[in-house]
Structure 1
Amino acid sequence: MRDVNCVGIVMGFDFGTKHIGVAIGQKLTCTAQPLTVLQSQSGVPNWKRIRDIYNTWKPMIFVVGLPLKIDGSEQPITILAKIFAIQLKELFPVPVKMHDERFSTSEARLNYFKYYHDDLCARSNIKINAIAAGVILKSWLNKS
């Protein structure tokens, strides 16, 4: 079996206190797609599920959305997303990057119809958060 890291697999997160969207991307093709939505319990991520997804995909980097206000200033969720990124860095042997996620949810809502009607995504229970994670990851890939 070939090493998946050689093809540049990256994993993106749209952090939230109730749901965390997860997306998978590929550096070689600069593509990203929504993967799943994880439930959080009282703001605590489901680390076992994150570990399972990490072990399945073996990404070479994590990209976490940085939720800023429209003017670029921080908001309360910004601090929580930064803490999530720090925890990822402590728990996994891959670099963690943060990427401005302003307007990602709006773009995800525009793309929701596309994913909602795709049979595979509908059966996989893909939600706005996962689509937003894909938007964040795609934006990061285009700028990296």
Structure 2
Amino acid sequence: MFILGFDFGMRYVGVAVGETLTFNTSPLFSILINKLDIKYFDIFSILNFWKPKFIIIGYPMSECYDNSQLLDKIDLFAFKIRCFYNGHVIFIDENLSSWKARRILNFKKNKDFFTINALSATILIEQWFFDNGFLNV
């Protein structure tokens, strides 16, 4: 069974896949978001290809986080995915996932935002595995 993870940002949507038999995760790629346009055709193609059981979407749940514009976009993104695809959409706290990805990639030397966001989506899936007792760190 596959799980897809999405790290939604203002400029990129990072995409990763996880597999529930081996609990392996892999970053796939990031999708560049135009100013007002998310490439839903690409997202729906990914969903059709992987046919995931669960869809993990990073959601900033910190009390000090106040970016209603981003939260509204994430909510709309999740709504469209639910309308298109009959998988379970799960929000997970994305607090520090991008920071962790930057640390892993040594961000001072690597400013490849496509890679950072895809790796961040991987971290979200790993966090879901951990939260649900599949992984011990």
List structure 1 segments (4+ residues) > 3 angstroms apart after TM superposition: 71-74
Match of 2:76 among 73, 78, 83: 83
Give TM-score, length-normalised by structure 2. 0.82
Query: When the two structures are aligned, how many residues end up with a matched partner?
Result: 128
**Which SS does the other structure have where 2:105 is aligned?**
helix
Q: Deviations over 1:49-93 (max 9, x none)?
A: 112212221111111000234x46553222321221111111111
Matched, 1:96 2:84: no
Paired residue for 1:135?
123
| Cα distance between partner residues in 2 of 1:90 and 1:74 | 27
**Which SS does the other structure have where 1:41 is aligned?**
coil
Does the aligned pair in 2 maintain the 1:14–1:21 contact within 8 Å?
A: yes
Between stretches 98-107 and 44-53, larger displacement belongs to 44-53
Does the aligned pair in 2 maintain the 1:16–1:43 contact within 8 Å?
A: no
Greater fraction of residues in helix: 1
Between stretches 75-84 and 19-28, larger displacement belongs to 75-84
Q: Deviations over 1:79-137 (max 9, x none)?
A: 32122111111111111110000010111011225xx9xxxxx9xx9511101111111
**Which SS does the other structure have where 1:89 is aligned?**
helix
**Which SS does the other structure have where 1:65 is aligned?**
strand
Residue 52 of structure 1 aligns with an amino acid whose one-letter code is S
| Cα distance between partner residues in 2 of 1:16 and 1:130 | 11
**Which SS does the other structure have where 1:127 is aligned?**
helix
Give the alignment's Cα RMSD to 1 decimal: 2.3
Q: Percent of aligned positions with the same letter in both sequences?
A: 27
Residue 67 of structure 2 aligns with an amino acid whose one-letter code is Q
Which runs of 5 or more residues in structure 1 are unaligned?
Answer: 1-7, 117-121
Does the aligned pair in 1 maintain the 2:53–2:88 contact within 8 Å?
A: yes
Paired residue for 2:17?
24
